[in-house]
Amino acid sequence: MIELVQPLLNGDRRALARVLTGVENQQAGDVLAAVYPHTGRAHIIGVTGAPGTGKSTLVAALAGGYRAQHKTVGILAVDPTSPFSGGAVLGDRIRMQSLAGDKGVFIRSMASRGSLGGLASAALDAIRVLDAAGMDVVIVETVGAGQSEVDIARAAHTTLVVEAPGLGDEIQAIKAGLLEIADVLVVNKADRPGAENAVRALRMMLDIGHPVERHHGRFIAASPVSVAEPPPMWIPPVIATVASKGEGIDELLVAISDHHRFLVDHHMLGRLEQEQIEVEICERLRNVLVDRLLESLPQGALMEVVRQVQARQVTPQRAVEVLLGQGHI
Ligand SMILES: Nc1nc2c(ncn2[C@@H]2O[C@H](COP(=O)(O)OP(=O)(O)OP(=O)(O)O)[C@@H](O)[C@H]2O)c(=O)[nH]1
Ligand SMILES: [Mg+2]
């Protein structure tokens, strides 16, 4: 695959598509190594939220907005829920039809192939490939439900959590534990009843969580005359949108760029990246170590401790110690 490196760096779409397939099949290690020095330029935006809140429609609208600013956009739709890319891809293709034929946009879907951990690391690699191919903005959509989506969202510089009114529960993000990772909260489907309530409820939640005064979307610390300068704090704005009609998209683009500027102005981009790299290395290390240990175990050893734990003869904690003693890393 190494012959694809130069075309990829030149932004060749066929090379990009082939490398992404290689990434999915975990066969692109040499390409990833070669292009890695060319990454770190794109603004990575994560978009997550409950199923059906309008994420794909929103991503398409955002991409349209970036195209109007003459920025190139890579879109990665990650679906951990389906083992086949069929349904999700088809749906996203329809949602993102307005972008078809635009050479400044590249859309790719990735579905789970067995292991969720594998999907998260493949998604991180795919983001880097899009970045290396020269995309100014990389937007990653994930259905927010489990740990791997949160892991993927954590790879973003700016994370959008998308809500929609009338999905049975007024504020789904809180339930799903997604609020903590939001840099911008979006109440999409604002044309539906209950949207105003959802916006108000979310703002209230955020105010409780952040003891500061709000002034026309800007913010100041509650006690400005403190001796030690408190670390700068970003309060996630809540933006109402109707993605299907393009309403609120300009405000959302401003909120996203405000967040990026905040990170840059406070020298937080480097620190954020440092944390993300640390988490990623530890996660990859964990996966490798577990695989190595399991492979080194005597035949049937794992099943034997499973049996003993189930029979209440040993605790799961003890089982781990036994396995560590029987295998080697
Ligand atoms: N009324 C209304 N419908 C919308 C809006 N945005 C999206 N939709 C519709 O909501 C449905 C789901 O939209 P998607 O963009 O596929 O939602 P999603 O969050 O990507 O869905 P999953 O990827 O399956 O989780 C589609 O029928 C959209 O046309 C909106 O602002 N208002
Ligand atoms: Mg979608």
Compute, in angstroms, the gap from residue 199 CA to the centroid of ligand 1: 18
Q: pLDDT at position 300, please?
A: 94
Segment 60-86 shows an average pLDDT of: 84
| Nearest atom (ligand 1) to Cα of 247 | 31
Q: What is the pLDDT of residue 51?
A: 83
Question: What are residue 220's phi and psi, to 5 degrees?
Answer: -130, 155
| CA distances, 292 to each of 225, 231, 289, 295 (Å) | 55, 42, 5, 5
Please give the pLDDT value at position 146: 65
Banded pLDDT at 211 (limits 50, 70, 90):
low
| Chain-centre distance for alpha carbon 187 | 18
- pLDDT band at 95, cuts 50/70/90? low
Q: What is the pTM of this model?
A: 0.86
Q: Which two tokens stand for residue 230?
A: 């408190």
Q: Residue 321 belongs to what H/E stretch?
A: helix 316-326
Q: Summarize pLDDT for 126-140 with one digit per residue, the tens.
A: 999 999 999 999 999
> Is the distance from CB of 162 to CB of 59 less than 8 angstroms?
no
Weakest mean pLDDT among 31-35, 109-113, 253-257: 109-113
CA of residue 97 to ligand 2 center, whole Å: 13
Pocket test for ligand 1, best of 55, 57, 107, 163 (most atoms within 8 A of CB): 57
Q: Which atom of ligand 1 is nearest to the CA of 60?
A: 15
Q: Which residues contact 116 (CB under 8 A, 6 or more apart)?
A: 80, 146, 147, 148
87-101, 200-214, 273-287: which has the minimum mean pLDDT? 87-101
Q: What are the phi and psi torsion angles at 43 (to 5°)?
A: -85, 115
Residue 63 CB contacts under 8 Å (≥ 6 apart), including other chains: 73, 75, 96, 99, 105, 137, 139
Quote the Cα angle for 41-47-50, to 5°: 165
Q: Pairing mode, if any, of strands 212-215 and 218-221?
A: antiparallel
Average pLDDT (20-34) is 92
Q: Tell me what pLDDT residue 216 has.
A: 43
- Which burial class, exposed, middle or buried, applies to 9 when counting CB atoms under 10 A from its CB (0-12, 13-18, 19+)? middle
Which residues, 6+ apart, have CB-to-CB distance to 252 below 8 Å? 58, 62, 65, 160, 184, 186, 239, 241
Residue range 212-271, pLDDT digits in tens: 544 444 445 555 555 666 677 899 999 999 999 999 999 999 999 999 999 999 999 999
| Position 113 pLDDT exceeds 50 | yes
pLDDT at 91 over 70: no
Q: Ligand 1 mean position to 105 CA, how many Å? A: 20
CA dihedral 254, 260, 265, 270 (to 10 degrees): 180
CA of residue 247 to ligand 1 center, whole Å? 14
Counting from 1 in the atom list of ligand 1, the atom nearest the Cα of 162 is 19
